[in-house]
Chain A
Amino acid sequence: MLKKALIGAAATTAMMVAASTSFAFPDRPVTFVVPFSAGGGTDGVARAFQQEFAKALGGTVIVKNTAGASGTVGAAEAANAKADGYTLGFLPIGPATIQPHIRKLPYSLASWEFVCNVTASPVTFMVKKDAPWNSLADFVAEVKGKPGKYVYGSSGPGTIPHLAMAATAGALGLKMKHMPDKGTANAMKSMAGGVIQAFADTPVVLSRYDVKALATFTAEPIPALSDIPTMKSLGNDLQFSVWRGIFAPKGTPADVIAKLDTACAAGAASDGFKAFAKKTNTDILYMDSAKFEAFAQSEYKKNGTILEKAGLKK
């Protein structure tokens, strides 16, 4: 405890010195808190981004995995860290804009300074590859004929696949059951085994499992899936994407945020990160601090409305 306090005091002094003379951030390693275990999707992106980000920042960056409770334990750790820019949250959409609606947490959207967004992948509506439905209309007609018979899956309660499907069922007036699994891979087992009939997730799932997309949750068609109609063109403006961004604790100095944001832009544009993104079907989408803040706010509001309609909001 004493050691921590001393380090804290030393850091504060260093910061004050730094502020009064030339700006010397970072003078020690910056930590990305990844709120999921090593080897997960977010962890992979964070570790690939870490190297390029560190290069651009001119310092060392460490990834720390703090897993548990749908990412909220790690997010809380980052939110409640010292607001000096040395501890950042590398968070996906869930712990940032969904969990605060459905649980009592020691942080909220107001706990953050927004550094930048790094990746964003659109979500598509999918069914089993050998399913008899070849369009959303086919599927809707079948489900409406047998209310309560069909089941949609998800990677867990309150995840984006769940929200997207709940919103779809609501907008199209479909009476379907929801059966959550633990993670997308398990849901894909349920899909292959015929337990669930519909699912929503990013296009990487299409390349990995025997499923086909019937619609995309985007405003414009996805370039790689240009023959799949958008939900908007089919009459329902439903938009979902899975994104990951960098968050700093509230109160982090503006010049530190600016420096981090600059490094983030360079990292997102680097060849190394682009090569990683290509190999793993990750979509890079850089947003600067101001744009990311506005985006996160709107996502927070949108997800809150859907959760309320689905009866999940607390």
Chain B
Amino acid sequence: MEYVLPALDLVASPTVVIAMFVGTLVGIVIGALPGLGSVVALTVCLPFTFSMEQVPAITLLLGVYCGSVYGGSVSAILINTPGTPQSAATCFDGFPLVQQGKADKALGWATMSSVIGGLFSCMVLILAAPQLAAIALKFGPIETFALITMALTCIASISRGSMLKGLLAGVLGLACATVGADPITGDLRFNFGYFPLSAGLDLIAVVVGIFALSEVFIRVGETATEVPNWIAKSGIKLPSWADWKPRLAVLAKSSVIGSFVGVLPGTGAATAAFISYAEAKRSSPRRDRLGTGEPDGIIASEAANNAVTGGALVPTLALGIPGDAITAVMMTTMIIHGITPGVRLMAENGDVVYACFIALIVINIIMLGQGIVLARGFTRILKTPEPLLLAMVVILCLLGSYGVRGNPFDLLVTLGFGAMGYFLRLFGFPVAPVVIGLVLGPQFEISLRQGLILTDNSFLEFFTGHPIALGLFITTAAILTWPLIRKAIPK
């Protein structure tokens, strides 16, 4: 508590308020552009922070971070093209709602869920960071492997239509994840002697290709005279309490899942959103409508991926261990400004840490306001002539995939996966499992193989010596067999 007053003092300065406002705005706008996500948004802003003061620099990036995660939902909902994997699950119900002419409602659900998920994770971060950091340390390779195995089951829950096609698409994603350097031996795999492939397939390049570019190809392939028949309502319509009341359970569960997954390094917002969506699909009373424009789907995805923001800062701040590329950039900024995240952070820079906490809360509230104001502009996208919109999407996709690593080869990856996504959709394969496989694949592989090193190649020990892992494996088995059990129970 001794830090709260000096922290308030730090946050209340005009430059910090401007930094938070501008950061959140830039984050939302960049995040909302298809193909550009949190990493691009942060790297664009990073050079500016070098000449800024400590607290404004950090709060600027916090704003960009939170804003970009929320912004990603906008393009996912309005044009069915998630710029980043973290908002991929938002498409499933967001876009059907738009097609029903309820774009304003879809944005309302996404905005409210994002803000509540974000605020929930702030509370988690403020109240329980040291305790949660201790739990994160209990997640060694074997526990992580068990968690990722559980996350992979969401491929089954989002494979509508043909389960076999969904699983095949998931395997395709896992296979793509093995291209590049072997994480344990460093050997190059599946590069066919072609040097650029040794860097592996970049996740962002694949995601914008398979989701956004293939969507463009599909729309171009449709008969040109066909005009979308949904009437776009511009602006935003926040859901009423009557709408919320039956959905509070989904919201609470998704916020918890997001915060918890965020705490574990190496997982991230996409994993959280997929697990949360799968859980809603399993347990929501409205599960049969999920995937057809049911708000539960948007809540599950958006509350979870925004709840990751606070959760991911737990290991970053408390242990000095960033969970992903995004928090790694944040950590570097802190170090450059003379703040060393890690075990001694609280003792050395308690006031700055509390300033970050307060800033996070303020940023989430700013986000709500800006979301409501910007929605009017965003929904105009639906009134843009389609050829113009599609051309812009193509340009942004290519810009985004090149922007992440600056590697021209990634442009070819985007085009290639755009074509692949087109054919997958043409033959009725869902494309989301490919992305899930690619997101989870690297962590799945490295944790499995690290675990095998520790157990001297005994897979049996994964189940015997590790109670947390065993619990997760049992949960996984339960999730997979639950539909059968439910059927078997007489009504």
Contact = CB atoms under 8 A, between A and B. Distances in A.
A178 B166 CA distance: 37
A40 B327 CA distance: 11
Contact of A68 (B199, B321, B450): B199
A190 interface: yes
Given A68-B199, A103-B188, A189 B137 contact: yes
Given A72-B198, A185-B320, A186-B265, A157 B454 contact: no
A22 interface: no
A208 B319 CA distance: 9
Given A39-B46, A157-B185, A189-B315, A68 B329 contact: no
Contact of B186 (A64, A67, A312): A312
B346 to A, nearest CB: 13
A158 interface: yes
A182 B321 CA distance: 11
B407 interface: yes
B321 A186 contact: yes
B186 A156 contact: yes
Contact of B321 (A43, A69, A185): A185
Interface in B432-491: 446, 450, 453-454, 456
Contacts of A180: 183-184, 450
Interface string B189-203: 000010110111010
Nearest to B199: A68
Contacts of B344: 207
A73 B453 contact: no
A208 B186 contact: no
Given A103-B198, A185-B320, A193 B343 contact: no
Which of B137, B332, B405, B453 counts the most chain A CB atoms within 10 A?
Answer: B405
A312 B344 CA distance: 37
B317 interface: no
Contacts of A179: 141, 450, 453-454
Contacts of B180: 69
A37 B335 CA distance: 16
Interface in A261-291: 276, 279-280
Contacts of B338: 279
Interface in A41-81: 41, 43-44, 47-48, 64-70, 72-74, 76
Nearest to A207: B340
Contact of A193 (B137, B331, B405): B137
Interface in B331-378: 331-333, 335-338, 340-344
A209 B139 contact: no
Contacts of B333: 39
Contacts of B454: 151, 177, 179, 195
A38 B184 CA distance: 25
Contact of A65 (B202, B265, B406): B406
A210 interface: yes
A177 B453 CA distance: 7
A278 B49 CA distance: 18
A69 B185 CA distance: 13
Q: Say whether chain A's binding surface is mostly helix, strand, loop, or mixed.
A: mixed
Contacts of A169: none
A209 B343 contact: yes
A40 B405 CA distance: 12
B328 A156 contact: no
A157 B39 CA distance: 25
A24 to B, nearest CB: 28
A39 B42 contact: yes
A201 to B, nearest CB: 13
Contacts of B337: 279
A171 interface: no
Which of A68, A279, A280, A312 counts the most chain B CB atoms within 10 A?
Answer: A68
B406 to A, nearest CB: 4
B320 A102 contact: no
Interface residues of B, number: 58
A47 B181 contact: no
Nearest to A43: B332
A188 interface: yes
A106 interface: yes
Contacts of B137: 189, 192-193
B140 A209 contact: no
B50 interface: yes
Contact of A39 (B136, B198, B328, B406): B328
Contact of B336 (A44, A102, A148, A185): A44
Interface string A186-211: 10111011110000000000011110
Nearest to B136: A189
Nearest to B138: A193
B465 to A, nearest CB: 13
A40 B328 CA distance: 8
A39 B332 contact: yes
Nearest to B142: A195
Interface string A108-135: 0000000000000000000000000000
Given A38-B46, A69-B199, A189-B137, A182 B183 contact: yes
A178 B453 CA distance: 8
Nearest to A210: B343
A43 B336 CA distance: 11
A172 interface: no
Contacts of B136: 189
A157 B449 CA distance: 13
A14 to B, nearest CB: 25
A209 B198 CA distance: 32
A201 B181 CA distance: 22
Contact of B329 (A39, A102, A188): A39
Contacts of A280: 335-336
A40 B266 contact: no
Contact of B332 (A40, A178, A182): A40
Which of B183, B186, B335 counts the most chain A CB atoms within 10 A?
Answer: B186
A19 interface: no
A65 B365 CA distance: 34
Contact of B320 (A73, A177, A195, A208): A208
B246 to A, nearest CB: 40
B14 interface: no
B43 interface: yes
B47 interface: yes
Interface of A: 37-41, 43-44, 47-48, 64-70, 72-74, 76, 102-106, 148, 151, 156-158, 177-182, 185-186, 188-190, 192-195, 207-210, 276, 279-280, 312
Given A68-B407, A73-B405, A279-B337, 7 more contacts: A37-B39, A65-B43, A76-B195, A185-B321, A195-B450, A207-B340, A209-B319
Ordered nearest first, which 5 A-B pairs have the shortest CB separation? A68-B199, A39-B329, A157-B186, A69-B199, A38-B43
Interface of B: 39, 42-43, 46-47, 50, 136-141, 180-186, 188, 193, 195-196, 198-200, 202, 265-266, 315, 319-322, 325, 328-329, 331-333, 335-338, 340-344, 404-407, 446, 450, 453-454, 456
9 contacts: A39-B332, A64-B406, A68-B199, A156-B183, A157-B184, A177-B453, A188-B321, A195-B450, A279-B338
